[in-house]
Amino acid sequence: MSPATVERLVTDGHDVEWVGAWTRDPGDREILTFSREAERVLVTIDRGFGALAMRGRRASVGLIVIRRTAAIDHAWLVNRVIRLHAADLAAGAVIVASLTKIRVRWPPADA
């Protein structure tokens, strides 16, 4: 996510931990683990996180994967997904979202 998206989400009242501010990139598995342990929804443009959560059976608190959306619209889309699907995210859903479509997916029960 871009710094502008992070800034907008903070302005909109979200408590944001931006991986881009970390001193090193620990890799997708560690980021997903951090998200789960910190009980934070993970927002990303990287489809690899969705694959980890779904096929890799790695539980998450909730995951929003943004697809085919210009960076300038990311914060608006994240706010929309949270507004419409807060309960699904809290229950661990993987939500793939674009400006035209939102798809809610559920990881395997034993994730």
- 41-55 pLDDT, tens digit per residue, is 999 999 888 888 777
The answer on pLDDT for 21 being more than 80 is: yes
Whether 109 is in a domain gets the answer no
Q: Is residue 49 part of a domain?
A: yes
The answer as to whether 34 is a domain residue is yes
pLDDT at 65 over 60: yes
74-90 and 3-11 are packed helices; what angle lies between their axes, rounded to 10 degrees? 60
Domain range enclosing 90:
3-18+27-102
Does residue 78 form part of some domain? yes
In a domain, 31, yes or no: yes
Residue 1: pLDDT band with limits 50, 70, 90: confident
What are the CA-CA distances from residue 4 to residues 1, 7, 39, 41, 69 (Å)?
8, 5, 23, 18, 15
Q: Does a structural domain hold residue 63?
A: yes
Predicted local distance difference test score (pLDDT) of residue 86: 96
pLDDT grade for 57, boundaries at 50, 70 and 90:
low
Residue 10 lies in a domain: yes
When divided into structural domains, the chain yields a total of 1
Structure pTM? 0.90
Residue 76 confidence (pLDDT): 98
Q: What is the pLDDT of residues 74-108, one digit of tens each?
A: 999 999 999 999 999 998 899 999 999 999 998 77
